[in-house]
Structure 1
């Protein structure tokens, strides 16, 4: 009788251990699947972002400063491919840029320039982003030489509409938070 009781207890113990191991494997598999799904989603978002920003004109900080110093009027989108907010905004900005088919002013280029901050760490980029208060991405600015600079402040990528972006593109001069552009020609 003791042998049967001992065998029964041993069976229950082995069954419980096997069951716990299966649960741990399922939990581990679920965590792995979730991690892979997030990674895949992130990679898809970055690929979509790269495809979207190809419709904008890539520009360097040095080229931006030259355009400002030359008195050019232009729009600048500042983003980074690893930013979900920049990914969301870029898609809406691309749709809103269809407004350039009928530009509101002949003096403003019908182009959106794109500054990629994904791996930016050089001093010129740091100085530029500090001078213009660009501490997060996405950022969307309008420049008219050294005279005028406006932006859509604190972009809420999820809630901003294509129409709101188009309104800004059409009337960048109606921004109540207008600032003059820092003089990049002055030696400090």
Structure 2
């Protein structure tokens, strides 16, 4: 169930997440600068973005967020319902964060035809983490580029100033108080 509708669209999380996504868009564009242009900036950026967000939240003291991963196709090309279900009803491999309260946070859902920023309940039928949480954590831990994006932004005066503002607006208490209506 997508909760970015109606009054929840005005949640204190929406503006900071929009700003975080704007920062990620800069990294995506730089990363893809030598690749053919695609219509969706977040295409194939879910692991890097989830890694960035995971370490950003750890840096900010936001507790309870863990990576999740699903694989849409197995090695033989057989359908395996995991990852994210796109608007075309097909499952694709995907990475996102899940909070201990049961909230999903995804900043790259638009690559599958959904909203750019998704805050949803854990039972949202578009998501299926068919990889273990240990596996998802290992993937995020080994994803150096997502961590490097964050490190660069924390060291860059302009990005750091914006990140400081974003982190102040989220504050450590927001991670524990996040709930779905």
TM range (shorter): under 0.3
Task: Give 1 or 2 for the bigger CA radius of gyration.
Answer: 1
Going by fraction, where is helix more abundant, 1 or 2?
1
The two structures have a TM-score, normalised by structure 1, of 0.26
Report 1 or 2 for greater relative contact order, CA contacts < 8 Å, sequence distance ≥ 6: 2
TM-score (norm 2): 0.26
